Amino acid sequence: MLAHPMRDIINDVRSNKTRVISDRQFNELTAEIEGDMATLHNPQRVGILDALVIGKIASLMRDYPDAMRKARPDLYENSPLAEACLAFVNEKLNEFKFSLLDVYPGDVLTIGRREFNDMCAPGVTLFICLGDRHLHITSIGLVPEDTKLINGLTNLAQSDRFYCIQCLESGQIRTRELTREKAKEQAATTDLYCRKVVHAEWNQVILHLQRSHAGDAILGRATIKVVVPSVGGCAPSCEILLYPGLNASPRDAIALRQHAEREMFDRYTLFVSYDVVTIPPAAH
């Protein structure tokens, strides 16, 4: 959850005596955020309140970038590929005068930034749907369910723009705008890079990932364990352990994580809280 990073921001800004907003504005903001964090103790509201806190972090990043870079430089640490994707999104927001950063800055500055960092690697192809009120990012060809999402994403708003982003070995990206028809065609015709084999045991799910067209080479395995079961209608807490194969590429590692997360969401709920731990090949 992002409650603790939010508290860190508040404490850092206080200790550094950064004068970027008035005392009254700052006190109102911190009281509101800390109230949200106190309410986070109610697990049934975690999903909603996480979204509120994410939005407030993004608003601070948008409105007070210098102070935020000083207080929380980790929020600006991006891979070269993720940085290129974020720059591309901002360029298109300006080009089409979309108001996304004004109304939902978290879609780009926090959630979008995290997704680009989690999903970008050489060989990965992304699809993005960019609009006045949303940014949606999904991989193409790694997870079948995510690739199929493209069909739905092309029907959100008439003014939306669609792009295919290829992540290159050079750390750069190659972009191409798609029409609605071309986006749906891309989803329908893209070959899947890998496939999963799942075994369910009494307390965990074991997933093996195999490459689709290279002699069924094993890319890695993952285990999904419930560490705190669902009680009283609250979502469970899980732990995903990733075991990439000895010769797994960064794309393989991303595919392994995405398949494990999708399997977990399908078995439990989209609102499950979870940790992801990667075990290096030498350790397993």
Once rounded to an integer, what is the mean pLDDT over residues 199-225? 77
pLDDT value of residue 48? 44
Radius of gyration of the chain (CA): 20
Q: Which band of pLDDT confidence, cut at 50, 70 and 90, is reported for residue 178?
A: very high
The per-residue pLDDT for range 51-75, each reduced to its tens digit, is: 666 777 788 788 878 877 877 787 7
Residue bearing the bigger pLDDT, 173 or 192? 173
Closest CA to 262 of 119, 151, 160, 98: 119
- E strands in 141-258: 161-167, 173-178, 194-200, 204-211, 218-228, 237-244
Q: What pLDDT does 27 receive?
A: 56
**32 confidence band (pLDDT: 50, 70, 90):** low
Residue 153 and residue 105: Cα distance in Å, rounded?
19
Contact 207, 198 (CB under 8 A): yes
Report the CATH superfamily, name and number, of domain 194-283. Gcn5-related N-acetyltransferase (GNAT) (3.40.630.30)
**Residue 281 binned pLDDT confidence (cut-offs 50, 70, 90):** confident
Contacts of 77 (CB under 8 A, 6+ apart): none
pLDDT of residue 22 exceeding 60, the answer is: no
